[in-house]
């Protein structure tokens, strides 16, 4: 009966792992991919066989690797139970894929680390939208601050939401002293 329950539990885990809508992996404490699902393969463009032949370090952007390794050291040392971070992978075709990585560690009955469980979500589109929004905001701010006219925005209650540099100069006030206030 116990053996049957164990087999059923393993079968449920295997189905949940392989059929998950997000990338999932079991990763050795040295960074070696031990098991990966098809969603992760789709995110990074590598086949299961290709990923299993390498490490997460090999496809991680160099600027993100040290933070990732620092978190894994903290988990291994028992300082934190899990971690989550945004980082970049190199897709097989060479482009950058932004991911949200969530990691926990599985230990054996004596407390020795066995492997990491990693959940990987592709957030590339969200990061691209954030970058475009940030660039648009910078352009808008440059336009406002370089206009020879005084420009301000107020909300429905008559409170200043935004003022430009010309407005600040004309009234000898700092924008932080104005925003949120009314003319009174």
**Mean pLDDT, each 10-residue run in order, the chain (184 residues):** 81 79 96 97 98 98 97 97 98 98 96 97 90 87 87 92 89 86 86
pLDDT given for residue 41 in this prediction: 97
Beta strands per DSSP E along 94-155 = 96-107, 113-122, 152-154
pLDDT given for residue 2 in this prediction: 83
pLDDT given for residue 21 in this prediction: 86
Cα–Cα distance measured from residue 179 to residue 162, given in angstroms and rounded to the nearest whole number:
6
The dihedral region occupied by 111, where left means phi > 0, alpha psi between -120 and 50, and beta the remainder, is left
Burial (CB count <10 Å: 0-12, 13-18, 19+), residue 77: exposed
pLDDT given for residue 66 in this prediction: 97
pLDDT given for residue 145 in this prediction: 84
Does the predicted model carry a pTM greater than 0.75? no
The dihedral region occupied by 45, where left means phi > 0, alpha psi between -120 and 50, and beta the remainder, is left
Burial (CB count <10 Å: 0-12, 13-18, 19+), residue 91: middle
């Amino acid at each position: 009966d116990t053996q049957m329950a164990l087999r059923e539990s393993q079968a449920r885990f295997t189905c949940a792992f392989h059929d998950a809508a997000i990338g999932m992996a079991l990763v050795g404490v040295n960074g070696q991919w031990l098991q990966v699902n098809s969603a992760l393969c789709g995110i990074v463009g590598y086949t299961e066989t290709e990923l299993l032949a390498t490490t997460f370090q090999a496809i991680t952007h160099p600027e993100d690797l040290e933070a990732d390794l620092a978190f894994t050291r903290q988990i291994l040392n028992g300082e934190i139970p899990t971690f989550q971070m945004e980082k970049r992978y190199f897709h097989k075709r060479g482009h950058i894929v932004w991911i949200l990585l969530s990691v926990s560690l599985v230990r054996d009955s004596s407390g020795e680390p066995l492997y990491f469980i990693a959940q990987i979500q592709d957030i590339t589109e969200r990061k691209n939208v954030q970058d475009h929004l940030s660039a648009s905001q910078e352009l808008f701010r440059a336009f406002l601050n370089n206009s020879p006219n005084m420009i301000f925005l107020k909300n429905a209650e008559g409170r200043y939401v935004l003022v430009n540099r010309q407005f600040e100069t004309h009234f000898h006030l700092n924008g932080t002293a104005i925003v949120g206030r009314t003319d009174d």
